[in-house]
C-alpha cells in the first residue's frame, strides 16, 4: 500500500526540514508550504541530498486565504498535515504582539477552516513547553495547569491549543499537539540544521556563532536564579528525536491509534541542564573555548523547566535517543559546514 501524503507547513524551517527527512525515509509523500519568512528554499535541495527526493514546494503565506484555497484545489488526497509554520522569537513577540497574534492565530484558523472544507481530519500541531509558564512542579507533565506564558509568542501557542481542542470537540478532526522543550542540534549529515536569519535569539546558535568567531562573545542571561549555578535550566532535546516523534504521531493518527480526538505529548529528554553546564559541555565535546560573559536576566525567561516524559514514552512509544554531547557536536558540525559554504550569518 502506498504511504500516506503529508503536508508540512513550515517545512523549510529548522524542525520542519528535519521532519521532512524522517517522513521521506519512512516512505511518506511530502508536500511543503512555506513563506520563507525565516528560512531558505535551498534547504529542500539539502533534504534531497540526504533522502534522494525533492519535496514538492508551494511558497505562500498561510494568512493568504486565496492562496490556501488554491493549494487545496491543486493538492488532493492529503492524509494529514503537520503545522510548524509560525513566528517564534520571544523578544520580537513582546515588541510586536499584533504581528504574532495575527500571524500565528490567523494562519491556524485558516488552515483549520480549509481542512474542514476539504475533509482532512489529521493534524499534528507544533506546540511548546512555553504553554506551562513557570511550572509549580518539576518535571512538568502534560496535565499540569497551564499558567499564563511570559510572552505573546507563548500565548499564541496556548491560544492555538485551545482553538484546536474546541474544534476537535465538535468535529471529526483528530489532533496531536507536541510540546517541544528546547530543540537543538542538527542532522548527522550536517546538511541541514538551525539557520536563523539575522542575529540568533536562541542559546545554541549563539554558542556556535561565537565559537566560530562570527560574534565576539556570548552573554549568559542571569546568574542569580535558584539553580545549582545560578543560570537557567532547560531540557535540551535533539531536533532529530523531535522529528522522529512527528512521524510516530502521524502514524498514530492515520492508523487511528489515538485514544482521544485531541492528545498532547511532551517532547523532552527529562533532564535539565543549566546554561553554564551547556557551555561547559560544548567546550568539552568540541575542544573549543568559548568567550562568554555573565550578564543580567533576560526578560520573559523562566527559571527552570524540564519534561516529565513518561506519557510520551508509554503512550506515544517515543523516547529521546540522543544526549547533550551529540546535540552540541552536531550543532557544531553544522556551524562549521555553514562557514565552509560561506553562508551569511552576521546581520
User: How big is the chain by its Cα radius of gyration, in Å?
Assistant: 19
CB of 310 vs ligand UD1, minimal distance in Å: 20
**Residue 93 contacts ligand UD1 per CB under 6 A:** no
**Residue 301 contacts ligand UD1 per CB under 6 A:** yes
Cβ nearer to ligand UD1, comparing 92 with 251: 92
Q: What is the dihedral of CA 327, 328, 332, 334, to 10 degrees?
A: 20
Q: Given the rule CB under 6 A, which of 22-30, 158-166, 198-206, 333-341 is the region that contacts ligand UD1?
A: 198-206
CB of 236 vs ligand UD1, minimal distance in Å: 8
Choose which of 305, 316, 320, 331 interacts with ligand UD1 (CB under 6 A).
305
Nearest to 50 by CA among 18, 27, 3: 18
Q: Cα dist. 102→6, 40, 51 in Å?
A: 25, 22, 35
**Residue 221 contacts ligand UD1 per CB under 6 A:** yes
**Residue 331 contacts ligand UD1 per CB under 6 A:** no
Establish whether 153 is a catalytic residue: yes
Question: CA-to-CA distance for 331 and 188, rounded, in angstroms?
Answer: 9
For residue 337, the SS3 value is helix
For residue 65, the SS3 value is helix
**Residue 219 contacts ligand UD1 per CB under 6 A:** yes
Choose which of 202, 223, 261, 323 interacts with ligand UD1 (CB under 6 A).
202
| Cα 5-8-10 angle, rounded to 5 deg | 170
Residues 254-293: x/- map of binding to ligand UD1 (CB under 6 A)? ---------------------x------------------
User: 23 — phi, psi (to 5°)?
Assistant: -65, -50
Q: Given the rule CB under 6 A, which of 100-108, 160-168, 215-223, 320-328 is the region that contacts ligand UD1?
A: 215-223
Cell of 260: 482521544
Nearest to 347 by CA among 218, 199, 217, 195: 199
Q: List binders of ligand UD1 among 134-153 (CB under 6 A).
A: none
**Residue 155 contacts ligand UD1 per CB under 6 A:** no
Total number of residues shown for the chain:
347
Question: CA-to-CA distance for 318 and 244, rounded, in angstroms?
Answer: 8
Cβ nearer to ligand UD1, comparing 21 with 237: 237
- Find the DSSP H helices in the chain: 14-25, 43-51, 65-74, 90-95, 97-100, 107-117, 152-169, 203-211, 239-254, 275-286, 310-311, 324-340
Cβ nearer to ligand UD1, comparing 173 with 243: 243
**Residue 298 contacts ligand UD1 per CB under 6 A:** yes
**Residue 232 contacts ligand UD1 per CB under 6 A:** yes
Among 58, 153, 236, 262, the one annotated catalytic: 153
**Residue 26 contacts ligand UD1 per CB under 6 A:** no
Catalytic residues: 153
Binding site for ligand UD1 (CB under 6 A): 88, 90, 128-130, 154, 182, 201-203, 206, 218-221, 232, 234, 275, 298, 301-302, 305
Amino acid at each position: 500500500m502506498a504511504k500516506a501524503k503529508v503536508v508540512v507547513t513550515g517545512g523549510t524551517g529548522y524542525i520542519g526540514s528535519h521532519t521532512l527527512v524522517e517522513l521521506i525515509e519512512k516512505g511518506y509523500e511530502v508536500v511543503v508550504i512555506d513563506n520563507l519568512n525565516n528560512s531558505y528554499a535551498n534547504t529542500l535541495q539539502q533534504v534531497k541530498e540526504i533522502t534522494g527526493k525533492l519535496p514538492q514546494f508551494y511558497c505562500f503565506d498561510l494568512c493568504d486565504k486565496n492562496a490556501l484555497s488554491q493549494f487545496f484545489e491543486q493538492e488532493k488526497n492529503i492524509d494529514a498535515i503537520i503545522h510548524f509554520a509560525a513566528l517564534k522569537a520571544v523578544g520580537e513577540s513582546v515588541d510586536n504582539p499584533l504581528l504574532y497574534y495575527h500571524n500565528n492565530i490567523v494562519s491556524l484558523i485558516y488552515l483549520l477552516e480549509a481542512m474542514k472544507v476539504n475533509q482532512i481530519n489529521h493534524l499534528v500541531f507544533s506546540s511548546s513547553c512555553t504553554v506551562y509558564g513557570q511550572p509549580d512542579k518539576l518535571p512538568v507533565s502534560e496535565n499540569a495547569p497551564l499558567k499564563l506564558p511570559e510572552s505573546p509568542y507563548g500565548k499564541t501557542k496556548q491560544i492555538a491549543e485551545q482553538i484546536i481542542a474546541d474544534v476537535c470537540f465538535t468535529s471529526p478532526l483528530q489532533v496531536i499537539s507536541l510540546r517541544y522543550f528546547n530543540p537543538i542540534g542538527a542532522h548527522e549529515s550536517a546538511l541541514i540544521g538551525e539557520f536563523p536569519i539575522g542575529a540568533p535569539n536562541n542559546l545554541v546558535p549563539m554558542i556556535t556563532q561565537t565559537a566560530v568567531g562570527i560574534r565576539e562573545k556570548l552573554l549568559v542571561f542571569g546568574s542569580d536564579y535558584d539553580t545549582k549555578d545560578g543560570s537557567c535550566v532547560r531540557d535540551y532535546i535533539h531536533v532529530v528525536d523531535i522529528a522522529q516523534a512527528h512521524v510516530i504521531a502521524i502514524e498514530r493518527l492515520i492508523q487511528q491509534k489515538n485514544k482521544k480526538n485531541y492528545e498532547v505529548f511532551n517532547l523532552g529528554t527529562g533532564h535539565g541542564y543549566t546554561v553554564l553546564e551547556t557551555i561547559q559541555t560544548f567546550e568539552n565535546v568540541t575542544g573549543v573555548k568559548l568567550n562568554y560573559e555573565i550578564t543580567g536576566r533576560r526578560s520573559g525567561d523562566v527559571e527552570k523547566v524540564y519534561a516529565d516524559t513518561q506519557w510520551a514514552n508509554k503512550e506515544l512509544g517515543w523516547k529521546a535517543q540522543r544526549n547533550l554531547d551529540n546535540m552540541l557536536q552536531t550543532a557544531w558540525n553544522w556551524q562549521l559546514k555553514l562557514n565552509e559554504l560561506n553562508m551569511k550569518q552576521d546581520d
